[in-house]
Amino acid sequence: MSIAERIKSARISAGLSQQKLGEAIGVSKMAISKYEQGKTIPNSGMLLRIAEALDVRVDYFFRTPAVTLSEPQYRCHKKLLKKDENAIHGKILDWLERYLEIEMITDVQTTLDLPKEEICHAVTMEDVEKVAQMLRDEWALGLDPIENVMDVLEQHGIKVGIVDAPDTFDALTFTYDGKIPVIAVNKNTTGDRQRFNLAHELGHLILQVSGDLDEEKAANRFAGAFLVPREMGINELGEHRNRLFLRELYVLKHKYGLSMKAWIHRAHDLGIISKNQETGLYIELNTYTKNKQEPGKQIRPQLPTHMHQLIFRALGDKKITQSRARELFGGPIPVVGVEE
């Protein structure tokens, strides 16, 4: 990617028009247009001003890795403005380039480890349950709650990133260079919502849906089954219940990282409660839900750790400087005891 292309990409990511960027650095819209078309190359002083206005480091304009991305598949973006969509795409591209660069520096790449397509066919929801359990078995996850879904996906070669985005955006999935899957989720959502979105996107990646089975519903079922296996769901709630209490769902939410609403749906999927009971519980839960947040303490958002560990490794081995580490982090180096 050329300097001209990077200026344009960073401007779009920042949500600025050519006019606004020109005003911020004291040049005309025409000048910005020429920079982005490669007709004029900004000098070092101008690049510093552009970097400051776009909130990127100057190193960004000279970064080596450039990747080819597939068309992203968005989850929950019906109300997402086009400029927000472009900004999200630009931020993810910036993050992915930094990720690939630290992999090159450390010579550490995680092998993609997804099951073969022929064993992931699903015609019924029961098939979806079986695929989810098969994947947990293949990845040796056992039946216990998954502590960090992001880390599990990264350990098996799926790159996971977080992006600052409006609430109308949940997640997106794409591949780079035609083969490696990437999932990006909104950093401004609760941890249970993040986890479900990741599991949902994982379902889209591996399920081979056919027949009359709806892909979105199948991915939702997969997410519930991946986060709470059938055996554990029944073990926690029993095979059949005349009534479920929100308080017990709240406890299970914090044990498994699955929202109370998703637990209600999971209980119905497993035949523990009837459709009428499910509907009644949704109505009851909604009376305590404010601003889309369920009652009680919220589950904190998760953070992917693999990329950060590679940066620290390179810094410790003196393969990069402190300044380079900050550029790869995309900001200040995280400090122990300080929340990001």
Q: 185 forms bridges with which residues in the sheet?
A: 162, 171
For residue 110 the two structure tokens come to: 């995680």
Contacts (Cβ under 8 Å, ≥6 apart) of 286: none
Q: What is this structure's pTM? A: 0.81
CB-CB neighbours of 288 under 10 Å: 13
**1-62 CATH pick, 3.40.800.20, 3.20.20.70, 1.10.260.40, 2.60.40.1180:** 1.10.260.40
pLDDT value for 203: 96
Q: Is 119 helix (H, G, I), strand (E, B) or coil?
A: helix
Q: Which amino acid is at 260?
A: M
Strands 180-186 and 159-163: parallel
Q: Is 66 helix (H, G, I), strand (E, B) or coil?
A: coil
Residue 80's alpha-carbon distances to 95, 168, 188, 253, in angstroms, are 21, 6, 15, 28
Residue 166's alpha-carbon distances to 76, 188, 189, 290, in angstroms, are 11, 8, 10, 18
> Cα separation of 200 and 76, whole Å?
12
> Cα separation of 263 and 250, whole Å?
9
Q: 184 forms bridges with which residues in the sheet?
A: 161, 172
Which residue has tokens 């992915």? 96
For residue 54 the two structure tokens come to: 């776009």
> Cα separation of 160 and 181, whole Å?
9
Alpha-carbon torsion angle 131, 133, 137, 142, nearest 10: 160
pLDDT value for 64: 61
For residue 191 the two structure tokens come to: 């941890």
pLDDT in tens, the chain (340 residues): 678 888 888 888 788 899 999 999 999 999 999 999 988 888 888 988 998 998 887 777 876 655 667 777 766 555 778 888 888 888 888 899 889 889 988 989 889 999 999 999 999 999 999 999 999 999 999 999 999 999 999 999 999 999 988 888 899 999 887 788 999 999 999 999 999 999 999 999 999 999 999 999 999 999 999 999 999 999 999 999 999 999 999 999 999 999 999 999 999 999 999 999 999 999 999 999 988 899 999 999 988 899 999 999 999 999 999 988 988 898 888 875 444 4
> Cα separation of 137 and 126, whole Å?
17
> Cα separation of 134 and 155, whole Å?
17
> Cα separation of 309 and 105, whole Å?
13
pLDDT value for 336: 59
CB 257 within 8 A of CB 192: yes
Cα distance from N-terminal residue to C-terminal residue, the chain: 30
CB-CB neighbours of 173 under 10 Å: 22
Q: What value, to the nearest 5°, has the Cα angle with vertex 260 and ends 145 and 293?
A: 115
For residue 219 the two structure tokens come to: 């991915």
Half-sphere CA count of 302, side-chain side, radius 13 A: 24
